Structure 1
Amino acid sequence: MAFLRSVIHLLWMGITVVPYALTIMLGTLLGVRGKPLYRIARAWLSLCISGARVILGIRANVIGMENLPQGENAGAVLLVKHQSTYETFLMPAIMPRPLAYVFKKELLRVPFFGWAIGRLDMIHIDRDQRTQAFHKVVQQGKDLLAQGIWIIMFPEGTRIERGQKGNYKTGGTRLAIDTGAPVVPIAVTSAKVWPRKAFIKRPGVVDVSIGKPISSAGRKPDELMREVEAWIEAEMRRLDPDAYPAVVIPPHGKAGEK
């Protein structure tokens, strides 16, 4: 049954992306730019999340929405734990402000999906040219934040297995410091139901925990990222304790793991 549901959901996404992507591309030909196109993309992503709930039995439990920056001009750099495709669809669907993803340019080649996101206010980079890529992120990030668009990044850079921790890179905190925006750490347990690179998804709940904004003023990128990493990983252990080894402290020795 899980296999059949996964097939149906994949077909659902593949079929529904076509009219939304074509609408976005047609809109650009007609001179439409910015937030109207984003709303079309967000509608499709919300449709995928609704499809996951109805077809796959996956639903999200979100806490901490009150922690998000308030005010029309309040910027933010969202730094999110990355375990599956699910959170890339979920975040625009639940956030009160438009989001701009920082993503690798190879995604632009994906039929319909990539063609559409290439016409949105996003930041696509060439990972082979790291210095130029970061300058692009900072410049476009400043422009987008000035328009009331929040930047979203996955500091581990790729999807991580359940219960594992990747290498937290400082690109997101460097951007926050350069733009003066706070960082917002977000923990997501999507791998419980939608494992990394897995075709078959399982019914269940994805817990999403949004932390309080952390000011970037006067901070150093690596030190700020360590604080983000510590919060996210501690929250992941709280939300999904079964995925992490229990820490044991011997009577006379150092702490270890079972």
Structure 2
Amino acid sequence: MIWLRSALYWLGMLVVTPPYALLCFLILPLPPLLRYKVVSRWSRIMIFWLRVTCGVKYRVIGRENVPDVPVMVMSKHQSAWETMALQELLPPLVFVVKRELLKIPFFGWGLRTLSPIAIDRGNRSEAQKMLMAQGTDRLGKGFSILIFPEGTRVPAGQRGKYRQGGARLANELHVPILPVALNSGEFWPRNSFLKWPGTVTVCIGKPIPTANRAANEIMAEVEYWIENQMAAITERGPKYPRDAAQP
């Protein structure tokens, strides 16, 4: 049954994604925030479809901590789930992504419409300049900036190395950091075809100030908050069959 339900989810994604990708071309002349409202509905559709087909729901703790002004969002990253769900749960935001992702057919076309901050990770000095320039531009247009401080998806129950680049950027852009903890990897494991029924818990903390603080100090506070929340909401460790993508 898990295989069938997961297959139905992927089938729905294959049906919905190409028309939305074509829509992205048609709405490129629209203002960025309006484009975002249109294209982000794809994510809402897929989160709804995930609930219908695979029984993956979610609950949010700390929604009242989301400010009305743009911020830097730093989130735990366990699965593809949060790349879609956070568009639904938070005000308009942009991703910091590798430039190569924009070249992927359909997915990359839609991502380009969302005004991401696309950088060349092979050139660090140039990437930092682009982060500053594009970050300032996106904040000015009313977008928050989403960064996964561990840099990649980390399996449920595990912990990656928190990088300080996002903290330095937040400090230079003069914006606080909104920390987010979530356990999506327990229901949609990293690189897994299968999705398991259950309720993802999303914890949103109070904004963490960055003004006049060192990057390592900021990052230590972000990591401490996120990992403490993870200890509270994690239901199962990495040895649970879900993490091995087994039925």
Provide the rounded CA distance (Å) in 2 between the counterparts of 1:103 and 1:117. Answer: 9
Structure with greater Cα Rg: 1
Q: 2:180 aligns with which of 175, 186, 193?
A: 186
Provide the rounded CA distance (Å) in 1 between the counterparts of 2:14 and 2:153. Answer: 21
Q: Is 1:42 paired with 2:40?
A: yes
Q: 2:203 aligns with which of 195, 198, 209?
A: 209
Q: 1:123 aligns with which of 108, 117, 120?
A: 117
Q: Deviations over 1:29-48 (max 9, x none)?
A: xx223112111211100000
Going from structure 1 to structure 2, the CA distance change for 1:144 and 1:109 (only over 3 Å counts) comes to same
**Structure 1 residues 73-152: aligned runs within 5 Å:** 74-95=69-90, 97-152=91-146
1:255 paired residue number: none
Q: Secondary structure at the match of 1:148?
A: coil
Range that drifts further, 84-93 or 108-117: 108-117
Q: How much has 1:241 moved relative to structure 2?
A: 5.1
Provide the rounded CA distance (Å) in 1 between the counterparts of 2:21 and 2:238. Answer: 40
Q: Deviations over 1:100-158 (max 9, x none)?
A: 00011221122111012123311111111122112111111111112211000100000
1:252 paired residue number: none
2:14 paired residue number: 14
How many aligned positions are there?
A: 239
Q: How much has 1:19 moved relative to structure 2?
A: 1.3
| TM-score, with length taken from structure 1 | 0.89
Q: Percent of counterpart pairs with the same letter?
A: 41
1:254 paired residue number: none
Q: CA RMSD in A?
A: 1.4
Q: Secondary structure at the match of 1:102?
A: strand
| TM-score, with length taken from structure 2 | 0.93
2:245 paired residue number: none
Deviating above 4 A after TM superposition, structure 1's stretches of 4 or more consecutive aligned residues are: none
Contact in 2 for aligned 1:237/1:243 (Cα 8 Å): no
Contact in 2 for aligned 1:20/1:40 (Cα 8 Å): no
Q: Which runs of 5+ in 2 are unaligned?
A: 240-247
